[in-house]
């Protein structure tokens, strides 16, 4: 089957994506819809990713040699501060390739030095689109971090040129606090994958706007979500989703310097309050929200970026109470005071 090609540009890095299956194109185009470029990019520059559909593992043209070194494996369940993926996996390095195998789902083969990745997805028509998006994002981030673009599991917003990052696993109040700020006039940077870049003088947060996924419990907190039609609040598995611009008077924010990092923690209290965190504790809480890094030099550079980020911002534990709609009254004065 012929390959369809799609081109994007992420902050000066050209990305070319090819696939032999339309079902593998739609989730990627959705993920990178703000970065799509129709005009031609240099075919020899940037990053190249190819995804193929296959019927079973035997059809994947990739053999792991006897000299391969296993780096990690897991069940996909949450461990400590690591969030659950639900995907059993094994990661190996073999002749310069980073190979991630996902049982009965597919395989990623990533050549970081060459800026290339191949993905083989088993029976993609049986998979939810967000799983295909997840596999592509893993490969993309592994390549981008070698171009000094990093990400963490966090929501991100911008207010008058100052950034707010809200890291955390599901169930901690991350998305709920994010929506509370978004609806009050903050600009949208990302629901779960903001990009970080060290500009020299400071670490900056760069927009990576995607659809906003919400649980039924989160929907109940916001009247506009409770009353939204399926044309705005779309059905999804396991979460529903919406686009910020469809529901709120907001726009995608600009690249900016982060001013606050909030670590939310839901508490049984009528009012939310903030606890200032020492820099060491904040860095300790932030590191598990970064994706796993398997290259020692890349890991060293990423750690330096995260440590620098923590040093330049104020970090708080957000004890998130029942006054959900009033959260901006607590957070906005901190941003205005620091201007």
pLDDT the model gives residue 296: 87
Q: pLDDT tens-digit profile of 136-170?
A: 999 999 999 999 999 999 999 999 999 999 998 87
Region 310-335: mean pLDDT is 96
Residues 99 and 114 in one domain: yes
- pLDDT-derived band at 172 (thresholds 50, 70, 90) equals confident
Domain boundary residue among 147, 175, 199?
147
Cα–Cα distance measured from residue 215 to residue 203, given in angstroms and rounded to the nearest whole number = 31
Q: What percent of the chain shows pLDDT beyond 90?
A: 79
- pLDDT-derived band at 83 (thresholds 50, 70, 90) equals very low
162: β partners: 159, 257
Closest-CA residue to 168 (of 158, 157, 180, 178): 178
Q: How many angstroms separate the Cα of 102 from the Cα of each of 75, 98, 126?
A: 10, 13, 15
Q: How many angstroms separate the Cα of 253 from the Cα of each of 19, 156, 208, 323?
A: 31, 10, 10, 26
Residues 116 and 187 in one domain: no
pLDDT the model gives residue 175: 93
Region 300-329: mean pLDDT is 96
Cis peptide bond upstream of 227, omega within 30:
no
Q: How many angstroms separate the Cα of 321 from the Cα of each of 30, 109, 273?
A: 34, 44, 8
Closest-CA residue to 12 (of 31, 29, 33, 37): 37
Region 283-288: mean pLDDT is 94
Q: What percent of the chain shows pLDDT beyond 70?
A: 94
Evaluate if residue 77 carries a pLDDT over 80. Answer: no
pLDDT the model gives residue 84: 47
Give me the DSSP letters along 236-305.
-SSSEEE-HHHHSS--B---BEEEEEEEEEE-SSSS-EEEEPPHHHHHHHHGGGBPP---HHHHHHHHHH
Instruction: Tell me the CATH number at 182.
Output: 3.40.50
Evaluate if residue 205 carries a pLDDT over 60. Answer: yes
Residues 230 and 286 in one domain: yes
- pLDDT-derived band at 82 (thresholds 50, 70, 90) equals very low
Domain boundary residue among 90, 115, 147?
147
Residues 202 and 328 in one domain: yes
Report the relative pairing of strands 314-320 and 257-266 from DSSP bridges: parallel
Region 94-99: mean pLDDT is 92
pLDDT the model gives residue 259: 97
Cα–Cα distance measured from residue 243 to residue 229, given in angstroms and rounded to the nearest whole number = 13
Arithmetic mean of pLDDT over the chain: 91
What's the whole-model pTM score? 0.91
pLDDT the model gives residue 76: 59
Residues 122 and 167 in one domain: no
Evaluate if residue 16 carries a pLDDT over 90. Answer: yes
Sheet containing strand 97-102, strands side by side: 4-10, 13-19, 47-54, 116-122, 106-111, 97-102, 89-94, 69-74
Residues 204 and 238 in one domain: yes
Q: pLDDT tens-digit profile of 102-114?
A: 988 999 999 999 9
Question: What contacts 81, CB < 8 A, 6 or more positions away?
Answer: 169, 285, 288, 289
Domain boundary residue among 126, 147, 168?
147
Q: Residue 26: give the domain boundaries.
A: 4-147
pLDDT the model gives residue 222: 96
pLDDT the model gives residue 329: 96
Residues 30 and 88 in one domain: yes
Question: Angle at Cα 106 formed by Cα 104 and Cα 109, nearest 5°?
Answer: 145
pLDDT the model gives residue 139: 96
- Collapse the DSSP code of 38 into the 3-class scheme (helix H, G, I; strand E, B; otherwise coil) and give the result: coil
Region 109-134: mean pLDDT is 95
Looking at the structure of the chain, the number of domains it has is: 2
240: β partners: 214
Cα–Cα distance measured from residue 16 to residue 77, given in angstroms and rounded to the nearest whole number = 32
pLDDT the model gives residue 9: 94
Residues 116 and 158 in one domain: no
Evaluate if residue 43 carries a pLDDT over 70. Answer: no
Evaluate if residue 196 carries a pLDDT over 70. Answer: yes
Residues 165 and 256 in one domain: yes
Cα–Cα distance measured from residue 196 to residue 145, given in angstroms and rounded to the nearest whole number = 10
Q: What are phi and psi for residue 212, nearest 5 degrees?
A: -105, 115
User: How crowded is residue 201: how many other Cβ atoms within 10 Å of its Cβ?
Assistant: 8
Residues 136 and 56 in one domain: yes
pLDDT the model gives residue 171: 74
Cα–Cα distance measured from residue 154 to residue 103, given in angstroms and rounded to the nearest whole number = 27
Cα–Cα distance measured from residue 48 to residue 331, given in angstroms and rounded to the nearest whole number = 41
Cα–Cα distance measured from residue 5 to residue 25, given in angstroms and rounded to the nearest whole number = 9
- Collapse the DSSP code of 2 into the 3-class scheme (helix H, G, I; strand E, B; otherwise coil) and give the result: coil
170 versus 126: the higher-pLDDT residue is 126
Q: pLDDT tens-digit profile of 266-277?
A: 999 999 999 999
8 A C-beta contact, residue 189 and residue 209: yes
Residues 73 and 161 in one domain: no
Evaluate if residue 15 carries a pLDDT over 70. Answer: yes
Residues 128 and 239 in one domain: no
């Amino acid at each position: 089957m012929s390959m369809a090609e799609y081109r994007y540009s992420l902050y000066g890095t050209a990305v070319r994506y090819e696939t032999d299956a339309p079902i593998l194109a739609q989730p990627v185009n959705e993920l990178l819809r703000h970065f799509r470029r129709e005009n031609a990019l240099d075919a020899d520059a940037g990053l190249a990713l190819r995804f193929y559909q296959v019927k079973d593992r035997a059809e994947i043209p990739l053999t792991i040699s006897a000299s391969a070194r296993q780096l990690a494996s897991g069940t996909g369940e949450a461990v400590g501060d690591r969030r659950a993926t639900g995907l059993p996996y094994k990661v190996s390095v073999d002749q310069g390739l980073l190979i991630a195998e996902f049982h009965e789902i597919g395989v990623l083969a990533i050549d970081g030095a060459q800026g290339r990745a191949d993905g083989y997805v088993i029976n993609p028509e049986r998979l939810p689109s967000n799983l295909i998006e997840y596999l592509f994002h893993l490969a993309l981030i592994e390549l981008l971090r070698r171009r000094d673009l990093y990400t963490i599991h966090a929501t991100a917003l911008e207010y008058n040129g100052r950034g707010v990052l809200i890291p955390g696993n599901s169930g901690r109040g991350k998305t709920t606090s994010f929506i509370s700020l978004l609806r009050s006039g903050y600009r949208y940077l990302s629901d779960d994958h903001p990009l970080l870049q060290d500009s020299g003088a400071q670490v900056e947060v760069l927009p990576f706007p995607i659809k906003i996924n919400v649980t039924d419990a989160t929907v109940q907190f916001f009247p506009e979500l409770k009353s939204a039609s399926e044309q705005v609040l779309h059905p999804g598995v396991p979460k529903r989703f919406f686009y910020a611009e469809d529901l709120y008077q907001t726009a995608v924010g600009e690249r900016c310097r982060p001013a606050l990092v909030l670590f939310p923690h839901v508490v049984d209290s009528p009012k939310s309050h903030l606890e200032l965190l020492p820099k060491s504790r904040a860095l300790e809480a932030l590191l598990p929200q970064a994706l796993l890094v398997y290259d020692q030099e890349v890991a060293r550079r990423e750690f330096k970026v995260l440590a620098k980020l923590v040093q330049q911002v104020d970090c708080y534990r957000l004890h998130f109470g029942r006054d959900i709609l009033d959260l901006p009254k607590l957070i906005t004065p901190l941003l205005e005071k620091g201007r």
